[in-house]
């Protein structure tokens, strides 16, 4: 069976994702569609609008055959590490082709990756700007192109990771269609492809026009929501932790570098809302995404040492499959080189899946629904 891979968040699954899914399968004439999907927290460290189980079922009903979770240590990371983890899992799943969306699908991302070898040595810590800004300055000088759109940045990351890991996966970029990635406007045109941001905002505002932008299962799940969770819901936990923990402890948190712990602790002592906290913590050196990720690492109590260990020990956590996905798993299971996990027991939650388990418990503070222990894959 020939498998095509997708890397997704489905936050939530919408018509643009259906287009991506159908196009990917047709493009490479695949027998099976395998999706590597972020769990309950997104790349920007935001709680997903629906938990991973609801999103898995929606994906299977939409035509995905096998859904595997992208672990927290990969899912909540900047683009290059997110891409590294995703490509690692796709390679382990033995997919032959990987199809992803990009704002500029006609760009030769391999050439852009090669251009990085010509960059002048820069000590980024000496500059009062984000890494992305300084990186793009050099890339634009070398190629005339800057990576400013989210999916283009990920496309660059996927290409680089595929080369670094020397995987045999064929990469295919397709042009992203519909609304812009961050567009929060929505209307009621039938079959429109809107952005996930617009759909989440519509759900928050009680604007049912989003029903035309998502498949039926997603629409049903979204209508059951009484509240759309966000960082304001998590902020009391974060604030308490930052105020009460010693600076020496906070300093050990992953990505808590360059004295950031002092800045976050001061902000927490003053700010009564997460929005105010982020405004106080923000500087030219740190993007909002970087700060949110550090906040999540703080809540999960992830040390630099633990993250390094987790990053080197990937696994395949199966969230769901249909008959074709089950057949494909049976086909590859004897040659897969990393563990395949279908059920989290007490031992796994203490060892290999400890970080994902902690993330699940944090998400349960918002959803009140068990996320990991003894949960079995969804079968459609």
Alpha carbon distance 237, 177 (integer Å): 38
151 annotated as ligand-binding: yes
Residue 375: burial class (beta carbons within 10 Å; 0-12, 13-18, 19+): middle
182 annotated as ligand-binding: no
CB contact at 8 A, 214 and 222: yes
80 annotated as ligand-binding: no
212: which 2 tokens?
């035309």
360 annotated as ligand-binding: no
CB contact at 8 A, 97 and 170: yes
123 annotated as ligand-binding: no
Going through the chain in order, the beta strands assigned E by DSSP cover 3-8, 32-38, 66-70, 97-102, 170-175, 316-321, 340-341, 378-379
CB contact at 8 A, 55 and 48: yes
Alpha carbon distance 152, 175 (integer Å): 10
110 annotated as ligand-binding: no
Alpha carbon distance 364, 265 (integer Å): 25
Sign of torsion, CA 53 58 63 69? Answer: negative
16 annotated as ligand-binding: yes
Alpha carbon distance 25, 5 (integer Å): 9
CB contact at 8 A, 20 and 101: yes
H or E segment to which residue 299 belongs: helix 288-300
15 annotated as ligand-binding: yes
176 annotated as ligand-binding: yes
9 annotated as ligand-binding: yes
Q: Residues 6 or more apart from 232 whose CB is under 8 A from it?
A: 273, 274, 275
11 annotated as ligand-binding: yes
218 annotated as ligand-binding: no
| Residue list for the binding site for ATP | 7-20, 101, 151, 176
| Residue list for the binding site | 7-20, 101, 151, 176
């Amino acid at each position: 069976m020939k498998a095509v891979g997708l890397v997704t968040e489905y936050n939530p699954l919408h018509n643009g994702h259906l287009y991506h899914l159908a196009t990917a399968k047709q493009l490479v004439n695949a027998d099976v569609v395998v999706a590597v999907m972020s769990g309950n927290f997104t790349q920007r460290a935001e709680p997903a609008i629906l938990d991973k189980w609801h999103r898995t079922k929606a994906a299977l009903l939409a035509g995905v055959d096998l859904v595997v979770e992208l672990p927290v240590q990969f899912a909540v990371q900047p683009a290059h590490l997110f891409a590294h983890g995703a490509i690692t899992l796709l390679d382990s799943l033995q997919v032959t082709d990987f199809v992803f969306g990009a704002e500029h699908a006609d760009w030769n991302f391999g050439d852009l990756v090669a251009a990085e070898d010509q960059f002048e040595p820069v000590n980024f810590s000496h500059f009062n700007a984000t890494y992305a800004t300084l990186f793009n300055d050099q890339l634009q000088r070398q190629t005339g192109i800057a990576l400013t759109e989210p999916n283009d940045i990920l496309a660059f990351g996927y290409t680089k990771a595929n080369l670094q890991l020397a995987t045999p996966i064929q990469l295919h970029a397709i042009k992203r269609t519909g609304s812009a990635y961050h567009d929060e406007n929505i209307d009621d045109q039938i079959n429109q492809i809107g952005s996930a941001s617009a759909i989440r905002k519509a759900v928050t505002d009680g604007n049912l026009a989003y029903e035309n932008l998502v498949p039926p299962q997603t629409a049903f799940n979204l209508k059951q929501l009484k509240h759309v969770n966000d960082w304001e819901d998590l902020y009391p936990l974060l604030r308490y932790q930052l105020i009460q923990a010693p600076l020496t402890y906070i300093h050990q948190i992953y990505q808590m570098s360059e004295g950031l712990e002092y800045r976050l602790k001061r902000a927490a002592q003053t700010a009564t809302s997460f929005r105010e906290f982020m405004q106080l913590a923000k500087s030219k050196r740190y993007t909002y995404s970087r700060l949110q990720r550090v906040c999540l690492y703080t809540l999960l109590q992830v040390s630099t040492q633990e993250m390094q260990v987790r990053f080197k020990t990937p696994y395949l956590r199966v969230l769901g499959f249909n008959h074709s996905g089950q057949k494909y798993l049976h086909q590859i299971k004897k040659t897969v080189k990393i563990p395949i996990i279908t059920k989290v027991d007490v031992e796994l939650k203490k060892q290999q899946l400890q970080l994902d388990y902690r993330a699940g418990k944090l998400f349960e503070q918002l959803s009140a629904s068990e996320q990991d222990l003894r949960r079995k894959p969804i079968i459609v």
